[in-house]
Structure 1
Amino acid sequence: MNPPGTPQQPGLARRGGSGVGAVMVLGSCLSLQVGAAFAAQLFPALGPGGTTFLRLGIAALVLLVVLRPRVRAWNRSQWLAILGLGLALAGMNSAFYASIARIPLGIAVTVEFLGPLVLAAALTRRARDGIWVLVAAAGVATLGLGHGAEGGDGGTPGGLDPLGVLLALIAAAFWAAYILANARVSARVPGMGGLAVAMLVATVAVAPFGEGAAAVVAEPQLLLMAAGTALLASVIPYSLELAALRRLPARAFSILLSLEPAVACLAGLLLLSQTLTWVQALAVAVVVGASVGSTLSARSRPVPPVPLPPG
């Protein structure tokens, strides 16, 4: 299994520049999780739905302006692939933001990591990958055993909000769907124009749940915060990720991105004052270790890195 990243052709990585590539990957992870932490701070004013709508909408606008996709040249098959990717993005982002409104950011990201792990095991059908999934699942199951963890709005001293955990699992399922949809779009639509339009599709899909976004009319500064969230959670991570893929082998890229749950825990601690118990911290470490272990045990089988979710 190769956790988050974008498909890369063999031999694409440049010789040299590995250190720069590693910094870019870590910068992508950090930007993504700081963006998520900023989004959580918008929840009291906009709600998770309103925040999701604005973040996706602003990111879509930026990508459309920068990439200017040639939509008139696309055929029915390409449009269907992009529609599927947009719906996967909508479900993944909506469920994830609703989750971090209830449980700590680091825990939500850790649970969400089950998506690519389970998918990789299902695609490769190797017993060893199944074992790594079981190890990660055990780590996730351990997350709720600690006391004193407090989520964004719904954490309790006695444990984790069950609905928050369920929403993170739904986000994990949509992440797996996003991986498959992204691979389909990458194969059928040249460049990143497909992602830009898929972002627009996702924005339209979440619009019915984004009524909280109307608060920006009375408080325009919220729009600036949402724009910053969109840049941090989508535009910057994807730019860094694509640049890093030109400098790093796929396996090194995947191992570095396996640190995503740990980075999320750090962002939650520093920006949202979300602390974890030692049991929960150990559980996060187990999931990270399972992801790294699965990547290292992949040998030379041609499974490309999994796309990093834009937000």
Structure 2
Amino acid sequence: MNFRSVPAPSSASMGSMMAFGAMSCVQLGLAASIVLADNIGSGAVAWLRLAWAAVILVLIARPWKLKFTQNTLLICALLGLATAGMTVSFMKSVETIPLGTASALEFMGPLAVAIIQGRGSARWWAVIAALGVLGLTEPWHGAVDLTGVLYALGGAVCWAVYVLLTQRAGDAVDGVGALAVSMPVAAIAATFMVGPVVLEALDMQTLIIGVGLALLLPVIPFSLEIFALRRLTTAAFGTLMCLEPAIAMTVGLLILHQVPRPAAMVGIALVILAGIGATRTGQRLPKNIVSPTVKPLAGLAEDHSQPR
């Protein structure tokens, strides 16, 4: 076999595979978090993941050796606040609503990004995805817990901000340098959000489990998302995230035994269709990193949401 004849994956294809890997890790991590939350509470699980993620990323990236500009640090700090809000809000939402429903509602955040910033066919794929989300949430039944819905929608706002800031941070900082700053900020913010009493629910075994959870969510998926956003537009990335509720529903069925309704199955088909469309139209030309650590932010105000 002539291996030279095998074409290399395109930038958009690589970005799509990274995004899919990130979503799979997220949902598996969330399922494991829900099981652990039955013992120590959702707030404690959210804090545990963020705290260990901060430790791991700081040890890997060693941010004190990087040269950050003031604007870079501000972006990373805001990214950390969005990460904390997204993590805590979602864990609160799955206390009262199914994993697939919570994921679909939280998905409204990146979907809004896709609709607002999308151009041409990207917006049409976002419309199809929106119909799929309606099928997944089935708002006409009116049986979903309102508190859980509000928490999920709060997570949606944080997720939209997270998508925008992650691309800016990924363009400015090479590797996981941005996460090494944003994740400690997220851990500190989560401490204020859930309170120091969360430490009373932790023991040595739980702390060890927390290391695995932190790797599964958020260290691996968030790192993959940063690299994916270097290859996709924010509009295409947001549309591709339509796959997340479908993955969440599958994980909820197989692991948490949450059986979906028929309308939700139709929603799965629609979001998969939108995801396929996003992979065909979502390539983002990779940006050149000037230094091996941090890229100057002279062009920060420029629109990085479309290919150059």
Q: TM-score, normalised to structure 1's length?
A: 0.74
Q: Which residue of 2 aligns with 1:205?
A: 189
Whether the 8 Å contact between 1:67 and 1:196 is mirrored in structure 2 is: yes
Q: Which residue of 2 aligns with 1:66?
A: 60
Q: Which residue of 2 aligns with 1:309?
A: none
User: Which one has more relative contact order, counting CA pairs under 8 Å at least 6 apart?
Assistant: 1
For 2:39, which of 45, 51, 54 is the aligned residue? 45
Within 1, Cα distance between the matches of 2:106 and 2:240? 17
Whether the 8 Å contact between 2:93 and 2:151 is mirrored in structure 1 is: yes
Within 1, Cα distance between the matches of 2:104 and 2:113? 15
Within 2, Cα distance between the matches of 1:280 and 1:170? 22
Within 1, Cα distance between the matches of 2:227 and 2:207? 29
User: What one-letter code is carried by the residue in structure 2 that aligns with 1:75?
Assistant: T
Aligned residues, how many?
Answer: 278
Query: Is 2:71 aligned against 1:86?
Result: no
Relative to 1, partners in 2 of residues 1:38 and 1:192: Cα closer, same or farther, differing over 3 Å? same
TM superposition shift of 1:33: 1.0
TM superposition shift of 1:287: 3.1
Q: Which residue of 2 aligns with 1:171?
A: 155
Whether the 8 Å contact between 1:92 and 1:170 is mirrored in structure 2 is: yes
Q: Which residue of 2 aligns with 1:191?
A: 175
Relative to 1, partners in 2 of residues 1:42 and 1:15: Cα closer, same or farther, differing over 3 Å? same
For 1:95, which of 78, 89, 95 is the aligned residue? 89
Residue 272 of structure 1: SS of its match in structure 2? coil
TM superposition shift of 1:243: 8.0
TM superposition shift of 1:177: 0.4
Query: Is 2:266 aligned against 1:282?
Result: yes
Within 2, Cα distance between the matches of 1:56 and 1:223? 12
Q: Which residue of 2 aligns with 1:150?
A: none
Within 2, Cα distance between the matches of 1:39 and 1:158? 27
Within 1, Cα distance between the matches of 2:275 and 2:146? 24
Q: Which residue of 1 aligns with 2:27?
A: 33
TM superposition shift of 1:200: 0.5
Query: Is 2:114 aligned against 1:120?
Result: yes
Query: Is 2:121 aligned against 1:136?
Result: no
Whether the 8 Å contact between 1:216 and 1:223 is mirrored in structure 2 is: no
Residue 170 of structure 2: SS of its match in structure 1? helix
Whether the 8 Å contact between 1:114 and 1:136 is mirrored in structure 2 is: no
Relative to 1, partners in 2 of residues 1:118 and 1:294: Cα closer, same or farther, differing over 3 Å? farther
Query: Is 2:211 aligned against 1:227?
Result: yes
Within 2, Cα distance between the matches of 1:167 and 1:241? 23
For 1:262, which of 218, 225, 246 is the aligned residue? 246
User: What one-letter code is carried by the residue in structure 1 that aligns with 2:117?
Assistant: L
Relative to 1, partners in 2 of residues 1:93 and 1:158: Cα closer, same or farther, differing over 3 Å? same
Within 2, Cα distance between the matches of 1:114 and 1:166? 12
* Deviation digits for residues 210-241 of structure 1 (CA, Å, limit 9, x no counterpart): 34532444x32222222221111123335666
> For structure 1, which runs of at least 5 residues remain unmatched after alignment?
1-13, 148-156, 306-311
Tell which deviates more after alignment, 161-170 or 285-294: 285-294
Relative to 1, partners in 2 of residues 1:278 and 1:28: Cα closer, same or farther, differing over 3 Å? same
**C-alpha RMSD of matched pairs (Å):** 3.6
> For structure 2, which runs of at least 5 residues remain unmatched after alignment?
1-6, 286-303
User: What one-letter code is carried by the residue in structure 1 that aligns with 2:87?
Assistant: N
TM superposition shift of 1:162: 2.3
Whether the 8 Å contact between 2:284 and 2:306 is mirrored in structure 1 is: no
Whether the 8 Å contact between 2:240 and 2:274 is mirrored in structure 1 is: no
Tell which deviates more after alignment, 90-99 or 137-146: 137-146
User: What one-letter code is carried by the residue in structure 2 that aligns with 1:285?
Assistant: A
User: What one-letter code is carried by the residue in structure 1 that aligns with 2:26?
Assistant: L
Q: Which residue of 2 aligns with 1:6?
A: none
Within 2, Cα distance between the matches of 1:220 and 1:57? 15
Q: Which residue of 2 aligns with 1:159?
A: 143
Within 1, Cα distance between the matches of 2:225 and 2:240? 11
Within 2, Cα distance between the matches of 1:188 and 1:243? 12
Relative to 1, partners in 2 of residues 1:199 and 1:300: Cα closer, same or farther, differing over 3 Å? closer
Q: Which residue of 2 aligns with 1:4?
A: none
Relative to 1, partners in 2 of residues 1:135 and 1:250: Cα closer, same or farther, differing over 3 Å? closer
Whether the 8 Å contact between 2:135 and 2:265 is mirrored in structure 1 is: no
Whether the 8 Å contact between 2:76 and 2:182 is mirrored in structure 1 is: yes
Whether the 8 Å contact between 1:108 and 1:168 is mirrored in structure 2 is: yes
TM superposition shift of 1:276: 0.9
For 1:271, which of 255, 258, 272 is the aligned residue? 255
